[in-house]
A and B are shown apart, each in its own frame.
Chain A
Amino acid sequence: GIQVEQSPPDLILQEGANSTLRCNFSDSVNNLQWFHQNPWGQLINLFYIPSGTKQNGRLSATTVATERYSLLYISSSQTTDSGVYFCAVLSGGYNKLIFGAGTRLAVHP
């Protein structure tokens, strides 16, 4: 089955810093989503981005489908950005989202 790898596994930032999270996947995909899981466990949809670039405030994402990777950019990080960021993909022939192991982000004031 399709493999999803996220890097780095852990990231510590000072408030105001920028960061880039990466998601590599092993096969072509119909869907790629980025989620933020907050400290209370809730999963928040950030982007639905099977290809191209999208921006939402301080966050943006780029997926290069032909090279099988996606990047999530966080600019001017805030303490509320802390949590785990998951990349998940859905590949042709499968009916489930395959999640990566996540990147755990801690933003300190």
Chain B
Amino acid sequence: DADVTQTPRNRITKTGKRIMLECSQTKGHDRMYWYRQDPGLGLRLIYYSFDVKDINKGEISDGYSVSRQAQAKFSLSLESAIPNQTALYFCATSDWSSYEQYFGPGTRLTVT
């Protein structure tokens, strides 16, 4: 089984809808991240969490919120989706003892 899983893998939603993307990991890592990738570009950080009680904004957090339900679970919500949030979303994890990050398979989100 994959160490970092994301659900759903693909989603099409309409403008104004609320949507949640979920991430789970079995690596036992304490740090989790949400990134966004727009076509032809690298990834940009949305939010990150160093433990269950620690949530921090990244460079593009506007329009997003997160919840760290447990060490292994980190969810990203779009409260009212808009078309320019159409992107590929990645969850990542890392351990406190290493800077190496491990990425999930991604969620392809389309907002119409």
CB-CB contacts of B70-112 with A at 8 A, as 1s and 0s? 0000000000000000001010100000111111011010000
B105 touches A33 (CB 8 A): no
Complex contact A96–B105 (CB within 8 A): no
Interface residues of B (CB under 8 A from A): 33, 35, 41-45, 48, 50, 56, 58-59, 88, 90, 92, 98-103, 105-106, 108
Residue pair B42, A100 in contact (C-beta under 8 Å): yes
Q: How far is the CA of A42 from the CA of B41 in the complex (A)?
A: 14
Q: With A96-B58, A96-B59 as known contacts, state yes or no: A50 contacts B99, CB within 8 Å.
A: yes
Tell whether A21 is near chain B: CB-to-CB under 8 Å.
no
Docked CA distance A43–B56 (Å): 23
**For the complex, what is the distance from the CA of A2 to the CA of B41, rounded to whole Å?**
17
Most A CB atoms within 10 A — which of B50, B59, B103, B108? B103
A-B contact count (CB 8 A): 48
Chain A's closest residue to B100 (CB) is A48
A31 touching B42, Cβ below 8 Å: no
Residue numbers of A with Cβ under 8 A of B are 30-31, 33, 35, 41-43, 45, 48, 50, 86, 88, 90, 95-97, 99-102
| Inter-chain contact A96/B48, CB cutoff 8 Å | yes
A90-B42 in contact (CB<8A)? no
Interchain CA distance A31-B88 in the complex, whole Å: 24
Q: Which residue on chain A has the smallest CB distance to residue B46?
A: A96
**Is B42 a contact partner of A43 (Cβ separation < 8 A)?**
no
Neighbouring A residues of B92 by C-beta, 8 Å = 97
Smallest Cβ distance from B81 to chain A, in angstroms? 20
CB of A101 to closest CB in B, whole Å: 6
Is the beta-carbon distance between B90 and A101 smaller than 8 angstroms?
no
| B45 close to A96 (CB less than 8 A) | yes
